[in-house]
Chains A and B, each alone.
Chain A
Amino acid sequence: MMKRDECLKILNKHRTDDAIVVAVYNAGFDWRRISQSPLNYYTVGAMGQGSSHALGIALAMPDHKVIVLDGDGSLLMNLGSLVTVASTAPSNYYHFVCENGGYEANGSHPIPGQGTVSFAGHARAAGYPHAFEFDDLGKFEAEIGRILSLTGPVFTTLKVVPGVKAPHDFEFANSRETHRAFAAAVAEVIAREPRAR
């Protein structure tokens, strides 16, 4: 097992400035502490929807990598999105699922299928051309550069336990101001790169 924040720190070393990151719940709270960027998009409140928000962004901004930091409980609420993503096949879509086996924000109750369900298997069966699974930090660190160089959609399960606890700032993640700041940052990117879309 890997600590989630340590995984995300490794991922952040490979994040380019123009990459958009869509992050949900605990992965999002960790990510905010690790990688502060105006191109971070946080989604809480309608659990399970991160992969779909990211698909909309990936289709709207095809020249920018879109990295999704999903949760296992979240993805279980929107498994159909794997099929939608695979059939839409955005080449700039990189889907990471932090599999901790439980609902960490709600008392750490186990997810259905804890320890038996294969999220990478679901992704492959849905039609993702690439799907990976890691439970060893060294192996993840060795492969992350290659994963992000593949043509998407790419799926990666990260088997994690919580690391250093980040503040659960739902008010920030769920505020109009946060989302408007993201939209303003994207508008600046579009103004700089008229061909970006």
Chain B
Amino acid sequence: MAELELSGRAIIDALKKARIEFVVALPDATMSEHVLWPLSKDKDFKLVRVCKEDEGISICAGMTSCKRRAVMLMQYTGFLDSINAIRAIAVELAMPICMLVGMLSKEPGVPVVRSKLYSVRIVEPILGALGVDNFCMEGPDDIALLPPAIDRAYARSLPLAALVGHRVNP
């Protein structure tokens, strides 16, 4: 069975490897302590704290239009709230909007679509309907997929959602 351990340091290193400059964020419980707080003190990133997630999608769009790499960090409820912005900007305009989406309360090791929580298990089908490339991170092997996935999103100018499958450790 694959290791169910997500390291905040490894996620931050993956973002650096992907040459992310800007992190646009609303706090998400899965990433708050060991991703967002360390990111906020890391001089390799510029952090933009937003009031609402759809703002963040648009801020990332402005940045990516100017050749700067950005990632949007949010909880899955924020993703659900931002669907029209993702549809209009990331999908219809084919912009490389890269999202780290915390799947709060998803059962570790359980596929997203098999979660007991309705609000969690609808996320992947919605991403599928939007045609947004996505994968779920549950362990170190999944985190290793993040830099090439971000590179691919920018190379193809297409959005990406990396789902954070459970609470992140240091």
Interface size on A, residues (CB 8 A): 33
Q: Is the CB of A60 within 8 A of B68?
A: yes
| CB-CB contacts below 8 Å: B63-94 with A | 63-68, 70, 84-85, 87-89, 92-94
When chains A and B are docked, how far (Å) is the Cα of A37 from the Cα of B64?
Answer: 20
Q: Which of A41, A46, A81, A182 touches B88 (beta carbons < 8 Å)?
A: A46
Indicate if B162 sits at the interface (CB-CB under 8 A): no
Interface size on B, residues (CB 8 A): 32
B63: chain A residues within 8 A (beta carbon)? 56-57, 59-60
Q: What mask results when residues 1 to 41 of chain A are scored 1 for a CB within 8 Å of chain B, else 0? A: 00000000000000000000010000000000000000001
Q: Which of B48, B62, B84, B93 touches A57 (beta carbons < 8 Å)?
A: B62
Known A-B contacts A45-B92, A59-B63, A179-B65; A88 and B48 likewise in contact (beta carbons under 8 Å): yes
Q: What mask results when residues 73 to 86 of chain A are scored 1 for a CB within 8 Å of chain B, else 0? A: 00000101101100
Q: Is the CB of A49 within 8 A of B85?
A: yes
Q: Is the CB of A176 within 8 A of B55?
A: no
Q: Which of B50, B52, B87, B95 touches A179 (beta carbons < 8 Å)?
A: B95
Known A-B contacts A46-B89, A179-B93, A179-B95; A56 and B70 likewise in contact (beta carbons under 8 Å): yes
What is the interface of chain A, defined by CB distance below 8 A to chain B?
22, 41, 43, 45-46, 48-49, 52-61, 78, 80-81, 83-84, 87-88, 174, 176, 179, 182-183, 186-187, 190, 197
Top 3 closest pairs, chain A to chain B, by CB? A56-B62, A80-B51, A52-B58
Complex A-B: 26 CB contacts under 8 Å: A45-B88, A45-B92, A46-B85, A49-B54, A52-B57, A53-B61, A55-B48, A56-B59, A56-B65, A57-B63, A57-B65, A57-B66, A59-B48, A59-B63, A60-B63, A60-B66, A61-B66, A78-B52, A80-B55, A84-B49, A84-B50, A88-B48, A179-B93, A179-B95, A190-B66, A197-B66
